[in-house]
Every structure is written in structure tokens, then in C-alpha cells.
């Protein structure tokens, strides 16, 4: 049975006091805390197995290579990919999206083509496409959102056409926590001959993910939001698409051969197999090993349990926040269509004031645009405060948060 109190014992940082108050960490959409199992595996890697991966014949390199390859396998299993060939390790979601933009988009998008992103996207799923559109001359179109922050599917279906080459959309909004029906989006995209790139930064850590069932073409996510270290993440891509793509960056590891023709004085290069073709240079081996341990930890808990726990906390927190007179919550009220993210404001106060006030009591939340400025502009919000939950948060923490929120209302 899922027990958040038992889970908490694995997170050393939660024993900390901030400003003489017990730490309450409600900024999980930005990054998650790390369990001792992940911390220990990182320490153990550097103490016992550290070496560069692949090609070297010595024992340490063999051990590091096996661990790094195993990490790809664990991540592939976690999202039900067909195998390690479909999982490229990257720095995080942002790099994964940029990889698709440059390795696929640069060669496949041209003037007259269209890329659809939604208005609820994180800047990392907007900016790469806007930059590339200036180079290749294609159009970036923005799918509308409804008043409650959900995707307007009808408008999206009206917008898509044979000109659309790729649809780039978040699985879960980092502002409102809304879960988009990406299976539906992928079906519609495929009917029009377009690919789908899903930003899974806020979904993979919190929901059971089955890429085969979703039938998405690319899925990008970050390790640090799912108990793993920073600087590691993954791009899932359907094997046949990744095989057709040219590399993103050039260097060691991603090549099989760089052969020099002494007559033409040119090099002839052949790419390495998947996924290494997309992992130029010495990879973040230890990050991969840490991510593997994080995935194992989440699998042991069970992603259905993770989802249910966050859903329970979100429902409880929203219900209690609605009892606060000056608090306005944004996004859908129906927790069955959202993850554990609640954006809100307190009447008469800036979101930064609210965050600083809560910090005073050891409660860590986010304030500002959360890298989703277009959505704030659509909703005419100057900024917002955001609480976001994870496996180690409890109802008691929500109660304490509400107590302080009521104090803030008196300011």
C-alpha cells in the first residue's frame, strides 16, 4: 500500500528546517527532491565504477558501459518503448525538443509548412520552433485553450491540415496541470500525415505512460522532475523515425567510423547505431545511472499509486483553498483531468509576495510566469503562484499551507 509517510523517510532533505519551520516542498513541477537510493547510487558510481563508456576494454569502462546501457533499458521499459534504440539520453526536456527541432525539423520543414504548438506550452516547446521558423520559413500556429485551461480540441482539429508537419504539445500543462488527450491529438495528427512531439516533463514523473498506446512519435522528459539528478533526461522516438533522422550534434560516440580518403583528402563518416547516433561526446553516465535508480524507485511505488496520491492531495488542497476568501484558483476544478499542480493568486498581492511570505514559514512554492507567458497573457494574469505535489507530500502539509495562506489573506 502506498504510504507517503514511509516514502518521506527516503528523502533526507525533508528533515530540514527552513527559517525554523519544517520544510514543506511544493515546487515539484520545477524539480523534485531525491531519495537516498538515488543519492547513494550516484555516490557508489563515482566511488566504484566511474569510467568513460564504450570502446575502452578495461574493466571499469565495461562496468560503466553496462550500467549506462541498462539505464536506457530501464527507461525504455518505464514508458513501454520497444527497446533501447528508441530512448536517447539528453540533458532534459529542453534539449530533447531542440534535438527534434534541429535533427528532424531543419531537414523536413520548409516554407509553406506548418507546425502546431498549443498556447499552454512551456517556452521550451515554443522557442525552438520559432527560432527554426526564422531559418526555414515555415509557420508556427498556436492551438487555442478554453477558459479553464483545457485544450480546445475542436479548434485544433479545424486548424490542422495537410500543411501541418508536426504537432508539438505538452502532455500535462506546467501551469494548470491539465492532462491533454495526446492519444486523440496523435490520432488526428497522423490522419493528416503529421508527426507528434509530446512534452512529457510534467506527465512522465506523475502518470503511467505507455508510448505504444499513446502512439506518439516523440516524447521528451527530464530526469530531475522524477527523482533523478539534474542534467539527464530522455527523448523517446519511434525507431523508424529516429533511423531516418540525421544526427543532432557531431563528435565521438555518435559515429561508427570516420574514414579519411588520402586521395580526395575528405572524411567519410558513418553513424553509430541507435540511440548512440544522437548522443555525441562523453555522455552524462552518472546522470543516467541516477535516472535508472529513480525509475526503479517509481516503479516500486507503482505509477497508478503515484497518480492516485497526487490526485487525492490536489482535490483536498483545492477544496481547502476554495475556503480561502481572497484566493483565486485557475484551471479546471475537475481533478480527474489534471495532475497535482494548482495555480492561484491572492487578491491584492503579487505572486512573488505570496511566495516570499510562504518561504518565511518554510513552504517552497513557485511564482511568476512559470515559463508559460503566452498562457498568462491569454488569461490576463500578471503572474501566478503555483503549488505542485509529489509522492512525499501529505495532507498535513496542505493543512499547514492553508493556515499560512489564511494569514496571508490578512496582509
Partner 1 sequence: MASVEDYVARIEETCGEEKDFIVIFKYDKKEQVVAKILEKAKIEKSISAIIFELTFKDVSFRLYGTGKAIFRNLKDKSELRNVLVDLLL
Residue 168 bears catalytic tag: no
| Alpha carbon 284 to its chain's center | 18
Q: At its nearest, how many Å lie between partner 1 and the CB of residue 119? A: 17
Q: At its nearest, how many Å lie between partner 1 and the CB of residue 149? A: 18
- Comparing CB distances to partner 1, the nearer of 308 and 411 is 411
Q: At its nearest, how many Å lie between partner 1 and the CB of residue 124? A: 14
Q: At its nearest, how many Å lie between partner 1 and the CB of residue 21? A: 10
List of residues contacting partner 1 (CB under 8 A) = 19, 350-353, 356-357, 359-360, 367-369, 373, 376, 381-384, 407, 410-411
- Comparing CB distances to partner 1, the nearer of 39 and 381 is 381
Active site residues: 371
Amino acid at each position: 500500500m502506498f504510504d507517503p509517510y514511509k516514502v518521506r523517510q527516503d528523502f533526507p532533505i525533508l528533515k530540514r528546517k527552513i527559517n525554523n519551520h519544517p520544510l514543506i516542498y511544493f515546487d515539484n513541477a520545477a524539480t523534485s527532491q531525491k531519495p537516498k537510493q538515488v543519492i547513494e547510487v550516484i555516490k557508489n558510481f563515482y566511488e566504484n565504477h566511474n569510467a568513460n563508456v564504450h570502446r575502452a576494454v578495461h574493466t571499469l569502462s565495461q562496468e560503466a558501459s553496462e550500467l549506462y546501457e541498462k539505464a536506457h533499458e530501464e527507461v525504455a521499459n518505464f514508458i513501454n518503448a520497444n527497446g533501447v534504440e528508441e530512448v536517447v539520453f539528453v540533458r532534459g526536456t529542453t534539449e530533447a525538443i531542440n534535438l527534434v527541432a534541429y535533427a528532424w525539423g531543419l531537414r523536413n520543414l520548409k516554407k509553406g509548412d506548418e507546425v502546431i504548438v498549443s498556447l499552454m506550452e512551456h517556452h521550451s516547446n515554443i522557442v525552438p520552433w520559432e527560432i527554426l521558423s526564422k531559418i526555414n520559413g515555415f509557420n508556427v500556429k498556436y492551438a487555442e485553450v478554453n477558459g479553464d485551461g483545457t485544450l480546445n480540441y475542436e479548434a485544433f482539429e479545424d486548424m490542422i491540415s495537410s500543411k501541418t508537419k508536426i504537432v508539438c504539445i505538452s502532455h500535462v500543462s506546467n501551469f494548470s496541470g491539465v492532462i491533454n488527450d495526446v492519444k486523440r491529438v496523435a490520432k488526428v495528427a497522423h490522419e493528416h500525415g503529421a508527426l507528434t512531439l509530446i512534452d512529457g516533463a510534467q506527465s512522465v514523473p506523475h502518470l503511467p505512460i505507455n508510448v505504444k498506446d499513446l502512439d506518439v512519435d516523440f516524447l521528451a522528459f527530464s530526469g530531475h522532475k522524477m527523482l533523478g539528478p539534474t542534467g539527464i533526461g530522455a527523448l523517446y522516438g519511434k525507431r523508424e523515425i529516429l533511423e531516418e533522422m540525421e544526427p543532432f550534434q557531431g563528435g565521438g560516440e555518435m559515429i561508427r567510423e570516420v574514414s579519411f580518403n588520402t586521395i580526395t583528402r575528405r572524411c567519410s563518416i558513418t553513424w553509430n547505431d541507435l540511440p548512440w547516433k544522437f548522443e555525441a561526446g562523453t555522455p552524462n553516465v552518472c546522470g543516467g545511472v541516477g535516472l535508472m535508480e529513480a525509475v526503479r524507485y517509481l516503479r516500486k511505488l507503482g505509477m497508478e499509486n503515484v497518480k492516485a496520491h497526487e490526485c487525492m492531495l490536489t482535490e483536498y488542497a483545492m477544496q481547502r483553498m476554495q475556503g480561502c476568501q481572497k484566493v483565486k484558483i485557475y484551471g479546471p476544478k475537475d481533478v480527474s483531468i489534471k495532475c497535482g499542480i494548482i495555480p492561484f493568486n491572492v487578491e491584492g498581492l503579487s505572486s512573488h509576495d505570496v511566495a516570499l511570505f510562504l518561504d518565511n514559514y518554510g513552504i517552497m512554492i513557485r511564482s511568476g510566469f512559470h515559463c508559460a507567458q503566452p498562457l498568462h497573457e491569454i488569461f490576463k494574469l500578471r503572474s501566478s503562484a503555483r503549488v505542485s505535489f509529489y509522492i512525499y507530500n501529505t495532507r498535513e502539509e496542505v493543512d499547514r499551507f492553508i493556515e499560512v495562506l489564511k494569514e496571508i489573506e490578512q496582509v
